[in-house]
Amino acid sequence: MKVSLVQMNSQNDKAANLKMAASLVDDIVAAEKPQLVVLPEYFAFLDDDADAMHASGETFPGGETYTLLSSLAARHRITLHAGSVVEKSGEHFHNTSLVFAPDGTEIARYRKIHLFDVVTPEGVSYRESDSVTRGREIVTYKVGDITVGCAICYDIRFPGLFQALRDRGADIIVLPAAFTLSTGKDHWEVLARARAIETQTYFLAVGQTGTHAAGRKACFGHSMVINPWGHVIAQSPDFVTSITATLDLDYITRVRTNLPVASHSVLRFE
């Protein structure tokens, strides 16, 4: 199975971001012919102003972002895991991953569960809960016979979610992110490899890179594909680009047979 990760530097210009996302997807599909393509967190609009983020939101199904994603998936006959976008749902907003099948139909919608409310070591404040409401559902979907689990960015620090995805049959876990530069340089790879090792899945960590919010904030990038043994098998440089990896799905079975940690667990998460 071939997967492609699209690393972006999204800004507070929705039209430009959507145009760039479509162009990057077009290019990587033409070059690599992947079955699964993944975009980063907040690929359609990224800013540090809650009102601006809300204004970029859409109600699904429908809206220009939703329509573009559906058409991209159908035109290229790919499964498109659309990072995350701002979803308007009644009076609430969510940080939401949308997934579209090769016929353009929506097959999964995951609302980020863990919200990033922190102050970084450099004193930069992030208050995601000022913009969005957390989700409550664990979500998986299928690419052929393969089960894929959904998570977003800050979720990576909460292993219970990933054990729940593994218990629900996930062979691949996708984590779109806009991971901060200050935490990413120390924690991004360590956490991503740990989640892959403990769940014995292929872990696709797809990041934003560079600065946004008029240079006030920066993302770490370093999008990665990690195998079930915890080895990084593909990694992006620090600019807007796409990377591709071929996943050996039989390797998942070999790792789980030789080190059957799931069968040794005495806990199950709901």
In one-letter notation, the amino acid at residue 209 is T
Catalytic member of 14, 58, 87, 112:
112
pLDDT of amino acid 270: 53
Cα 110 from Cα 138, distance rounded (Å): 7
**Sign of the alpha-carbon dihedral angle for 173, 148, 139, 256:** negative
153 in catalytic set: yes
Q: Which residue has the tokens 């999964």?
A: 108
Give dist(CA 80, CA 99) in Å, integer: 6
Q: Would you list the domain boundaries of the chain?
A: 2-259
Q: What are phi and psi of 264, to 5 degrees?
A: -90, -15
- How are strands ordered across the β-sheet holding 202-207? 140-143, 146-150, 172-177, 202-207, 224-226, 232-235
Enter the pTM of the model: 0.95
Q: Which of 14, 87, 153, 219 is catalytic?
A: 153
Q: Is 134 helix (H, G, I), strand (E, B) or coil?
A: coil
Q: Show the tokens assigned to 172.
A: 């691949």
Q: What is the pLDDT along the chain (270 residues), one digit of tens a residue?
A: 999 999 999 999 999 999 999 999 999 999 999 999 999 999 999 999 999 999 999 999 999 999 999 999 999 999 999 999 999 999 999 999 999 999 999 999 999 999 988 887 778 788 888 889 999 999 999 999 999 999 999 999 999 999 999 999 999 999 999 999 999 999 999 999 999 999 999 999 999 999 999 999 999 999 999 999 999 999 999 999 999 999 999 999 999 999 999 988 877 655
Pick the CATH number of 2-259 from 3.40.50.300, 1.10.510.10, 3.60.110.10, 3.55.10.10: 3.60.110.10
**Residue tagged 């599909």 (tokens):** 29
| Catalytic member of 41, 58, 87, 128 | 41
